[in-house]
């Protein structure tokens, strides 16, 4: 008999500031050595389940608990946070919220220092785990100098050295580049196998998590558990669609083609999946190729940009590109490659050492941040770095208030934007009561309300469920069709394929490719250099013997977009 390590029985939780409970009648048992994925729409209560496991509820977030939650056989109500932290190690959704040390090395070592290890042993373990996450070159670096994905890697390393029974990962992939995401999932898998720890992963990127074996998937919707099944069973069902969770692309393509997706067809991984090749080929031949957009004049031009934070290390080397008015372009590349730095250079937060920036042909290299903000809006990677007000309405209105607009106009514009961003029902809420995904939408709203001509979004859909992902992206597409140019930094290869016909790839501070997204995501050399990932659609097409797999990818994307637009 396997030992139960986590047991929820008729468990309910209500945040003190909420009228209704966030979790209702949760009954769930996880056993020793199990690897379980929790999925669900944004705001469904996934992180709240996680907070109950690691003690943030009730120690940091107050509220009412009824029913029972036992961890390692002990009722959590009877435990203090210190005893819980000895049992559950957590990687939080927002890595900034959990750093303890000043440098990367110190932070990773912290878990070990707590357990009073010998110095030599400590150094060697810190070295080993930092190598695992490819951060061994940064042990002396200060944490605030790291890129978003580098921070996420450090958080992963920190929890790997924890001597705990349960590892909890809340959106571990959110800021990671695709290749590192795959590596992180393999690492979690390896650690679980070597130590027999129980692993709980909360993640929207279902297809990426399924790169490794998962025992069960628990689907949470509106605070209750609506499914607790194996990955094959889940993918064969319609639950994901009903809960608006994105299916793996190859599964979706197979369904479009009319190929049966049953648990027996083993859909949880592209390598094990049996697809009806004839049906796929027939579907491909009957589907139209995507339309191409016409060329216009440049809106933003970067010419030979060089930049360094400190004289010893140049971060951006001679980057040039031109974005045309009305384009929607992705910037992709490895964690720490320099993507966010490029956005900071464009917005004027940092000055290039040399090179020029033009906006509609006019040199803006020496313009102030404020002057540029009139035309260029930036939505940053981490919403917590952007938010400065307590209430949602005030936050979104802030830019308009600073511009001195009349109150009536502010109200009208803010309300319109809140509706578009799906935040209208929350307009009078404090931001602290929102989930991470909801906060991200607040920051997008606060830029959109200013109506800039060019919007740069750093990971716009990280932490969003499929419904909100689609809503945000369709909204951006609509804006784009009205003439707003959109530049997106993203690690989401599907987003890149589906929404941005063109992509610019940065590796080691240099531009290594500038081509159609479909060409880039089927180019093994660029994929490898920039830590990107081939799309599973390509693998599916190859598996089905389709001679033009690249063309298959393009046609699927156009078709899928069409289908989803008609749904709305
Ligand atoms: N600190 C808090 N105080 C009050 N209410 C909260 C708090 N945190 C979350 N909530 C409420 O609980 C609901 C569920 O939030 P939770 O963070 O668990 O969702 P989630 O499923 O993890 O979402 P996401 O995928 O967007 O991260 C939210 O809609 C919000 O209303
Ligand atoms: N304030 C800073 N001081 C010194 N170095 C920094 C600073 N901010 C970033 N860096 C370094 O600059 C490099 C590029 O960082 P940047 O944030 O632009 O990467 P990125 O491509 O956006 O990465 P990610 O995909 O992880 O978000 C990284 O090696 C990072 O360590």
506 against 43, higher pLDDT: 506
Residue 425 CA to residue 438 CA, distance in Å, equals: 12
- Taking residues 110-135, what's their average pLDDT? 77
Q: What is the DSSP letter of 500?
A: -
Q: Is residue 401 domain-shared with residue 518, that is, in the same domain?
A: yes
Q: Could you tell me the CATH number of the domain that includes residue 127? A: 3.40.50.300
Do 497 and 553 contact (CB within 8 A), yes or no?
yes
Q: For 171-215, what is each residue's pLDDT tens digit?
A: 888 778 888 888 888 888 887 887 889 999 999 889 989 988 999
Q: 512: number of CA atoms within 13 Å, CB side?
A: 22
Asked if residue 488 belongs to a domain, the reply is: yes
**pLDDT above 70 covers what percent of the chain?**
96
Q: Is residue 41 domain-shared with residue 121, that is, in the same domain?
A: yes
pLDDT on residue 279: 93
Q: Is 43 in the pocket of ligand 1 (CB under 6 A)?
A: yes
Q: Is residue 221 domain-shared with residue 358, that is, in the same domain?
A: no
Tell me the sheet residues that pair with 38: 202, 218
Do 130 and 105 contact (CB within 8 A), yes or no?
yes
- Ligand that lies nearest to the alpha carbon of residue 492, given by its number in the listed order: 2
The first and second tokens of residue 104, run together, are 């990367």
Asked if residue 94 belongs to a domain, the reply is: yes
- Taking residues 15-26, what's their average pLDDT? 92
Q: Which atom of ligand 1 approaches the CA of 17 most closely?
A: 4
Which structural domain, as residue segments, surrounds residue 202?
4-242
Q: Is residue 68 domain-shared with residue 121, that is, in the same domain?
A: yes
pLDDT on residue 129: 83
Q: Is 393 in the pocket of ligand 1 (CB under 6 A)?
A: no
SS3 507: strand
Q: For 336-364, what is each residue's pLDDT tens digit?
A: 899 999 999 999 999 999 999 999 999 99
Residue with tokens 């996934």: 46
The first and second tokens of residue 116, run together, are 């009073």
Ligand 2 first shell, C-beta below 6 A: 145-150, 175, 177, 309, 315, 333, 335-341, 381
From 62, 435, 443, give the residue whose CB has the most ligand 1 atoms within 8 Å, as the site to mutate. Answer: 435
Asked if residue 387 belongs to a domain, the reply is: yes
SS3 291: coil
Q: Is 60 in the pocket of ligand 1 (CB under 6 A)?
A: no
Q: For 278-326, what is each residue's pLDDT tens digit?
A: 999 999 999 887 777 677 899 999 999 999 998 888 999 999 999 999 9
Q: Is residue 305 domain-shared with residue 387, that is, in the same domain?
A: yes
Do 72 and 84 contact (CB within 8 A), yes or no?
no
Q: Is residue 104 domain-shared with residue 42, that is, in the same domain?
A: yes
State the average pLDDT for the chain: 88
Q: Is 47 in the pocket of ligand 1 (CB under 6 A)?
A: yes
Which residue's alpha carbon is at the smallest distance from atom 4 of ligand 1?
433
Q: Is residue 446 domain-shared with residue 405, that is, in the same domain?
A: yes
Q: Is residue 220 domain-shared with residue 280, that is, in the same domain?
A: no
Asked if residue 104 belongs to a domain, the reply is: yes
Which residue's alpha carbon is at the smallest distance from atom 13 of ligand 1?
43
Asked if residue 449 belongs to a domain, the reply is: yes
93 against 542, higher pLDDT: 542
- For residue 50, the CA-to-ligand 1 centroid distance in Å is 11
Q: Is 461 in the pocket of ligand 1 (CB under 6 A)?
A: no
Tell me the sheet residues that pair with 430: 391
Residues with Cβ within 8 Å of residue 59, at least 6 apart in sequence: 81
Q: How confident is the model at residue 2 (pLDDT cuts 50, 70, 90)?
A: confident
For the cut 80, the answer to whether the pLDDT of residue 566 exceeds it is no
Asked if residue 48 belongs to a domain, the reply is: yes
- For residue 182, the CA-to-ligand 1 centroid distance in Å is 27
Q: Which atom of ligand 2 approaches the CA of 146 most closely?
A: 31
Q: Is 22 in the pocket of ligand 1 (CB under 6 A)?
A: yes
Q: Which atom of ligand 2 approaches the CA of 149 most closely?
A: 26
228 against 115, higher pLDDT: 228
* Lowest mean pLDDT, pick from 26-35, 214-223, 271-280, 478-487: 478-487
- For residue 146, the CA-to-ligand 2 centroid distance in Å is 5
ipTM rounded to 2 decimals:
0.83
Residue 567 CA to residue 546 CA, distance in Å, equals: 29
pLDDT on residue 489: 95
**For the chain, what is the domain count?**
3
Residue 225 CA to residue 36 CA, distance in Å, equals: 13
- For residue 331, the CA-to-ligand 2 centroid distance in Å is 14
Q: Is residue 188 domain-shared with residue 218, that is, in the same domain?
A: yes
Q: Is residue 418 domain-shared with residue 524, that is, in the same domain?
A: yes
Asked if residue 467 belongs to a domain, the reply is: yes
Which residue's alpha carbon is at the smallest distance from atom 7 of ligand 2?
145
Q: Is residue 255 domain-shared with residue 179, that is, in the same domain?
A: no
Q: For 478-495, what is each residue's pLDDT tens digit?
A: 778 878 899 999 998 888
Residue 177 CA to residue 187 CA, distance in Å, equals: 15
Q: Is residue 354 domain-shared with residue 497, that is, in the same domain?
A: yes
For the cut 80, the answer to whether the pLDDT of residue 51 exceeds it is yes
Which residue's alpha carbon is at the smallest distance from atom 25 of ligand 2?
335
Q: Which atom of ligand 2 approaches the CA of 506 most closely?
A: 21
Asked if residue 74 belongs to a domain, the reply is: yes
pTM here is 0.81
């Amino acid at each position: 008999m396997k030992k139960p390590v986590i047991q929820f029985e008729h468990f309910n939780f209500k945040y003190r500031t909420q009228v209704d409970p966030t979790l209702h009648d949760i009954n769930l048992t996880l056993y020793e050595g199990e690897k379980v994925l929790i999925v669900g729409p944004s705001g469904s209560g996934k992180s709240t389940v996680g907070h109950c496991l690691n003690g943030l509820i009730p120690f940091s977030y107050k509220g009412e608990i009824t029913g029972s939650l036992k961890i390692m056989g002990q009722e959590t109500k009877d435990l203090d946070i210190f005893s819980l932290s000895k049992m559950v190690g957590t990687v939080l959704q927002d890595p900034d919220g959990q750093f303890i040390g000043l440098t990367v090395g110190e932070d990773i070592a912290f878990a070990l220092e707590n357990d009073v290890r010998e110095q030599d042993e400590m150094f060697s373990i810190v070295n080993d785990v930092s190598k695992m996450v490819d951060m061994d070159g940064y042990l002396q670096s200060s944490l605030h100098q790291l890129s978003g994905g580098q921070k996420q890697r450090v958080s992963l390393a920190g929890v790997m050295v924890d001597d705990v029974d349960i590892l909890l990962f809340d959106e571990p992939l959110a800021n990671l580049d695709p290749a590192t995401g795959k590596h992180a999932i393999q690492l979690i898998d390896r650690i679980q196998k070597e130590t027999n720890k129980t692993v709980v992963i909360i993640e929207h990127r279902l297809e990426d998590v399924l790169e490794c074996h998962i025992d069960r998937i628990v689907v949470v919707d509106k605070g209750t558990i609506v499914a607790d099944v194996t990955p094959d069973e889940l993918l064969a069902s319609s639950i994901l669609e009903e809960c608006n969770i994105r299916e793996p692309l190859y599964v979706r393509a197979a369904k479009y083609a009319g190929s049966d997706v049953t648990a027996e067809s083993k859909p949880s991984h592209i390598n094990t999946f049996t697809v009806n090749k004839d049906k796929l080929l027939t579907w491909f031949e009957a589907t139209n190729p995507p339309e191409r957009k016409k060329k216009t004049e440049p809106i933003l031009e970067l010419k030979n940009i060089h930049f360094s934070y400190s004289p010893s290390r140049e971060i951006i080397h001679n980057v040039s590109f031109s974005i045309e008015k009305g384009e929607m372009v992705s910037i992709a590349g490895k964690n720490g490659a320099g993507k966010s730095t490029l956005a900071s250079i464009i917005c004027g937060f940092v000055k290039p050492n040399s090179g020029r920036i033009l906006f509609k042909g006019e040199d803006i290299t020496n313009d102030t941040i404020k002057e540029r903000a009139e035309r260029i809006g930036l939505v940053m990677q981490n919403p917590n770095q952007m938010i400065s007000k307590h209430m949602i309405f005030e936050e979104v209105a802030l830019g308009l208030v600073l511009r001195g607009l009349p109150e009536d106009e502010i109200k009208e514009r803010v309300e319109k934007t809140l509706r578009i961003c799906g935040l209208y029902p929350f307009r009078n809420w404090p931001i602290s009561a929102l989930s991470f995904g909801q906060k991200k939408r607040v920051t997008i709203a606060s830029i959109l309300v200013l109506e800039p001509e060019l919007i740069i979004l750093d990971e716009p859909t990280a932490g969003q469920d499929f419904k909100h992902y689609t809503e945000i992206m369709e909204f951006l597409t609509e804006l784009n069709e009205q003439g707003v140019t959109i530049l997106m930094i993203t690690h989401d290869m599907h987003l890149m394929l589906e929404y941005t016909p063109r992509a610019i790839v940065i590796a080691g501070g240099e531009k290594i490719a500038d081509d159609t997204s479909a060409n880039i995501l089927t180019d093994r050399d660029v994929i490898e250099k920039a830590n990107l990932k081939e799309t599973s659609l390509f693998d599916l097409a190859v598996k089905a013997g389709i001679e033009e797999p690249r063309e298959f990818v393009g046609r699927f994307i156009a078709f899928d977009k069409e289908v989803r637009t008609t749904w709305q």
